[in-house]
Structure 1
Amino acid sequence: MSTHAPNPHDFLDLDHELSREERDIRDAVRQFAADRLAPHVADWYETGSLPARELAKEFGALGVLGMHLEGYDCAGTSAVAYGIACRELEAVDSGLRSLVSVQGSLAMFAIHRWGSEQQREQWLPAMAAGEAVGCFGLTEPDAGSDPGGMRTHAVRDGSDWVLNGTKMWITNGTVADVAVIWAQTDDGIRGFVVPTDTPGFIANEVKHKLSLRASLTAELVLDGVRLPADAAFPDVRGLRGPLSCLNEARYGILCGVVGAARSSYEAALEYTLNREQFGKPLAAFQLTQRKLADLLVEVNRAGLVALQIGRLKDTGRLHHNHVSFGKLANVRAALDVARSARTMLGANGISLEYPVMRHMANLETVLTYEGTEEMHALSLGQAVTGLSSLR
């Protein structure tokens, strides 16, 4: 039995389970986040702005863009290492993790997994360096949880493709150099690599957001976008292509939200240890300690889930239902932690001087995107019953 008291910031000593490389990546990303991101994130959030192209180059230099992919100047790290990087970025803000995960797990993964060799060589090295920014166009104004209902379509015109349609809620869309667009064709749903300077491609900024404000979101309009034949992904048809990409992004989310939960818990712990009422710190009151204990359990339990799912991914045993489990459980836990932590800061909890309400608002979006809580619950229900509740 150890005589050393557990670390309040890593109570179950989960980081001891990391390899040396994974701990080095944790330290590098955590230091970058503290030095470069944390001092500015409240201002970015308040103004609804983000120097995304500048940050993309810095993320590229850090080596986190497409870091879990092999070749094409990508780092080729373990899935766990990528999850740790997402955790440290989302401990600052979900919008910053979104920039990285949309670039690496959606746009880059789509090209890496489904693209032609020419598409990979053209785009992936520049995207890994942050010299080119990517976005991923699947969701539409009338097709969210049911992507098969998309209206964007691509038709042949000679040897060319012509795309028309609208995509909505597209992270990085206003600054992207390349967009991966999914569209209906006579041969089923197909993916296309679309340079954003192609005539007819329009990206409109989505404004008035109350969540994920330190993130750039766009509506994409494709108005007669003409592409050569080799712009299409050569082999994949149907929803298998986009859903495989979403699975990658959801893995980053289920790891990332552990950081948002940890940040909220740590803010509540520090605040209640230093804030005095009735002649003693708030942390000395029984109700406060009960809340802190609940937060501690949820943060560490979410960390365990993320680590186990990462190990399953690294050993080739991951099923998409495992990812649904993690996305459902960890986002819900992180949101509960942020909401409870907010109450512990009292009126100060609504101020941008503290990260908690910013995390809470962001997590409302994270709960919805990349598969709503309800859809992941139905995925797990089908997994254990063998019965689909949808079709």
Structure 2
Amino acid sequence: MAIDRGHDQRMESQRDVYGAGRDLYVNVGAANGGSVPRSSPSHTYDRSRPLFIQYLNPEVLACYGLNCRGVQSERVLKDSLRITRLAVLLTDANLVFPASYIFEVPCFSVFLHEISPLVVSGSVSCVAPVMDLEAYRDIKAEEYRHDRVNPYVLKMDMAAERDVTWQPRLGSSTADIATLWHSAFEENGEFTGLVESVSARWAGRRGEIEETLHSVPQRLEGQAAVGRFVQKVIPVGLTARETTRINMLLSRAYLLSYLRDLRANMLVDFLHSDLSCGISETRGDSTFSLLSARRFDLALQWIGIHTYVHGAASWQHLVSLRSMPEFGELTLALYAQNSPVSLRSAVIRIRRITELEDAMNLIQAQRNVGTVVSQLC
């Protein structure tokens, strides 16, 4: 499947950068209930950490009304390839994804084919508790045993997937999800009001209802902790609002489990959806960082390399660009202090003298990056 990025990229690159800046700060502030950015100043962006790919996860996408299957699959694939161009630039380590994508995401083999230069160079890692994909399939088939269409019982050619670097996963998402689920029922927890809401349609004593909801992870009996399975072990139908709260918590716990276990960063705050599932960086937890994609895209426009990054640049060129010490300095200025003020000021100082021309090739992109970084305070 060929991915045509040209027209959309040319149109997007023509947006006024100052208008884009206004949109970015207005929208990010509104999304977080005010002008305070999502990240906490206590967090430090570290380029040596891997970047976790959550933007192809079926359950995360579903929380935002997106589906990696059916008519939306081509859109999800196109968006994912575009995001991956940003992801490559924001880490000096690997892009990492859970092995479940190989079986659960229909377009994933096409995705791997499109980024094959990254796969061949070892810049992409598959995370799983076991190296053998057949053994992994057997483990997961049991977890999805009651699924109407079990994605782990279908035979498929995984020759290309076996070329991806394997990274062991020692932690357990199931245990981490159960921990967050139980804590959600504590006083002022994330499920505050849920028991009361469900009780209105459930004939039984409050204590019995609360215990039934609290014990959902145990009552799954080894099934995957995903929304559709959780709903089946709750003896009453859930409203749309209740379903959303539960699905969001499950996906948030899943993502946190991977981010903390792998000490990985994650891109969020995209033009089409946030895809953070409500994760926020809290003081005292420095195991991961959340990176705004909109902020990065805006910075690329400021320095005149947005069109190149999303168009002519090959995967190898993007790796070469990120390998510049100056490029690392640029992204640190953008994220480490939780504000692009120093980068914006550097661009303004340059524009008092000359305009940064849009880069058409790697050499021009490197020159623009070097020029901007030389003006950083």
Same fold (TM over 0.5): no
Instruction: Considering Cα pairs closer than 8 Å and 6+ residues apart, tell me whether 1 or 2 has the greater RCO.
Output: 2
Q: TM-score, normalised by structure 1?
A: 0.28
Higher strand share: 1
Q: TM-score, normalised by structure 2?
A: 0.29
